[in-house]
A and B are shown apart, each in its own frame.
Chain A
Amino acid sequence: DTGVSQNPRHKITKRGQNVTFRCDPISEHNRLYWYRQTLGQGPEFLTYFQNEAQLEKSRLLSDRFSAERPKGSFSTLEIQRTEQGDSAMYLCASSLGRAGVYSSYNEQFFGPGTRLTVL
């Protein structure tokens, strides 16, 4: 399977614990995105990477959240001191793109998501 993969698919944790999710993008894609989706809502943008550089962070990404893409390949999203309000589906997507070049389309391929439940 050459699509975007995410692990784990489900995570149940207790409030106050730290959790880490992993995303493996499509291999030739240089852009990687994280979104969060709560029940009944569309996904909300969290952050994005161009290769290993994190170029944008949404204000939704509090200081308890950190994302990395150390070698420009896979990415991790860590949530520290989880709160019940962090319960959501965390989606990863990847795409091709070149910095500074407008692309008329930039199709993002999404993974299946990691569903986080904070008790």
Chain B
Amino acid sequence: DAKTTQPTSMDCAEGRAANLPCNHSTISGNEYVYWYRQIHSQGPQYIIHGLKNNETNEMASLIITEDRKSSTLILPHATLRDTAVYYCIVRGSFNDYKLSFGAGTTVTVRA
């Protein structure tokens, strides 16, 4: 699976949009971009995934660049409960059974 690069940490003001970047310059054509988050003392939670089109669900939006070498997760209106570690994961089609987590981005939402 392609490796990802994320900032170690970022702060966000409550009620504002949080934009979380992820670089995956070695991504191949059949690999998807996934985002999970882990709130303190809990297991990871799936947020969203995409291949090349932008995606939106009730939790977040995922913007993937045209060359697919980077993506941005957008939390439109961050709340204190969004404080968590966010993981960007690239996942291939032939070993889709496992997730390869990096260190992620620690997002702190401040009131």
Q: Using CB atoms and an 8 Å cutoff, list the residues of chain A in contact with chain B.
A: 4, 31, 33, 35, 40-45, 48, 50, 55-56, 91, 93, 97, 102-113
> Can you give 16 contacting A-B residue pairs, CB < 8 Å?
A31-B97, A41-B101, A42-B87, A42-B102, A45-B100, A48-B97, A48-B98, A56-B97, A91-B43, A91-B44, A97-B96, A102-B93, A104-B51, A108-B44, A108-B99, A112-B43
Whether A4 and B43, one on each chain, are in contact in the complex, defined by CB atoms closer than 8 angstroms, is yes
With a 10 A CB-CB cut-off, give which of A40, A42, A48 has the most chain B CB atoms. Answer: A42
Interface of B is mostly: loop
Q: Using CB atoms and an 8 Å cutoff, list the residues of chain B in contact with chain A.
A: 32, 34, 41-46, 49, 51, 85, 87, 93-94, 96-104
- Given A4-B43, A105-B49, A41 and B97 touching (CB < 8 A)? no
Complex Cα gap A104–B44 (Å): 19
**For B43, what are the chain A residues with a Cβ–Cβ distance below 8 Å?**
4, 91, 93, 110-113
Nearest A residue to B85, CB-CB:
A42
Complex Cα gap A30–B32 (Å): 22
**For B104, what are the chain A residues with a Cβ–Cβ distance below 8 Å?**
42
Interface of A is mostly: loop
A102 contacts which of B49, B94, B101 (Cβ < 8 Å)?
A: B94
Complex Cα gap A106–B51 (Å): 13
Nearest B residue to A49, CB-CB:
B97
Whether A102 and B96, one on each chain, are in contact in the complex, defined by CB atoms closer than 8 angstroms, is yes
Known: A43-B101, A56-B97, A110-B43. 18 other contacts (CB 8 A): A33-B97, A33-B98, A41-B101, A41-B103, A42-B85, A42-B102, A43-B44, A45-B99, A48-B98, A102-B96, A104-B51, A105-B34, A108-B46, A108-B99, A112-B41, A112-B42, A113-B42, A113-B43
A110 contacts which of B44, B51, B93, B96 (Cβ < 8 Å)?
A: B44
Complex Cα gap A117–B11 (Å): 31
Whether B42 and A56, one on each chain, are in contact in the complex, defined by CB atoms closer than 8 angstroms, is no
> What is the distance, in angstroms, from A29's C-beta to the closest C-beta of chain B?
13
Complex Cα gap A4–B43 (Å): 10
